[in-house]
Amino acid sequence: MDINGASAIVTGGASGIGAAVARQLAAKGAKVVVADLNAEKGEALANEIGGVFAPVDVTKTEQIESAIAQAEELGPIRVLVNSAGIGWAQRTVGRDGEFTSAADLGAFSKVIAINLIGTFDCIRLVGTAISRTEPTESGERGAIVNMASVAAFDGQIGQAAYSASKGGVVGMTLPVARDLAAVGIRVNTVAPGLIDTPIYGEGEDSEAFKAKLGESVLYPKRLGLPDELASMVVECVTNSYMNAETIRVDGGIRMPPK
């Protein structure tokens, strides 16, 4: 699918994997809406790639709708990449046997609200907008790519909330792809492994920590680069025969319990 001149929305697009995706989509000629909570980084990136910034909390339906309106002003909307998300780690029960030390249900709900429900809200709304776009010569209207995680399959100790949210994204990929096939929209999910993003910080200690993490990767024994993830996202967008699939991009890692 040719995305030159089309508009694309990338949630969580101001940094990390989302920013790498935004840059690569722009390099293909797309007009990108960088949808994020971080206005400073989002606006800087949008200026860099010739797109626009939209302040978006994916738990706020009205903010998603506003980003769609901005995208439709840039060109025919054909692409959504759901990269917004948060992490959380806490064991399910505490060591003292008290109810109060059990996992924080509010935190669990927040992770699900952002990573899973927010992803679906973006899909249903942006998918509706794409369904109004005129189809290409091949009959397709657009493509959606979700960001899951290898934690959907290899969740570690303390990752119940995060793994549940990303497992939900994986689980809805096929049924949503089946739903949207009727309007010519493809849906795929990418599941990253350990990726070198700002979450790990900077400096010697950070580099040493990342090197240690990289030892658990099958090959190559390092953290993945955001551009390596972004290239797979772009392939899922532009390859017209990629549909209803979840693809691990993880160097072959299988996460241990901890």
> Tokens 């010739």 — which residue?
50
Query: Which of 162, 200, 219, 241 is flagged as catalytic?
Result: 162
Q: What is the strand order of the sheet 31-36 is part of?
A: 52-55, 31-36, 7-11, 77-82, 142-147, 185-192, 246-249
Looking up tokens 């109810």, which residue turns up? 99
CA distance 237 to 190: 11
Counting every residue written for the chain, the total comes to 258
Taking the C-alpha atoms of residue 223 and residue 231, their distance in angstroms, rounded to an integer, is 16
Active site residue 162: yes
Largest CA distance in the chain: 64
CA angle 94, 97, 100 (to 5 degrees): 65
Please identify every residue annotated as catalytic.
162
